[in-house]
Amino acid sequence: MRLVKLHESVGFGVIISFPTGVSYGNQTGGTSCLQPRLEGVYVPLRNDCEPAPSSRLVSPEHELETHFTEPPHEGTGGVDGLDENDALFIDALLVRWRVASIIEVDRSRLRDSHEAWVWAVITGEEEDGIYAGLGPYPRPAVLTWSNSD
């Protein structure tokens, strides 16, 4: 299977499970440096860059990095799985960044989730969104971003 490594990418995105013959992998799990992968389509979500002189990345990634580097995770990456508090935090983040209408954390996969690799469910497509035709929905997916190691 073909593999695209997202290790050098920045920002927040989702890998939507879909039979493409291409897997996307990322370095995840904080200092554990796990290497999970999923066959599908990678879609960057809600990333922007402020104009010069700051040229700062504006992305949900910053809030996620803070969440996983502070207690209770403290950089360990949550490799033993996430809990309901993590799911509530991420769901609230999805609301703030206006993607909660099409994506939600998959509560049945919290034990399989960890920093920078959170199982989710794609419930549909945004009107005039950046992807189309990946149904039927719901469809499994993984939220991913730069690992904080």
DSSP string, the chain: -EEEE-TT--S-EEEEE---SEEEE--BSGGG-B--EEEEEEEE-S-EEPPTTT--EESTHHHHHHHHHSTTTTTSTTTT---HHHHHHHHHHHHHTT-TTTEEE-GGGGGG-BTTBEEEEE----TT-S-----SSSEEEEEE-----
**Tens digit of pLDDT at every position of the chain (149 positions):** 899 999 988 999 999 999 999 999 999 998 888 999 999 999 999 888 888 888 888 899 999 999 999 988 888 888 999 999 999 999 999 999 999 999 999 999 999 999 999 999 999 998 888 899 999 999 999 999 998 77
* Predicted model pTM: 0.94
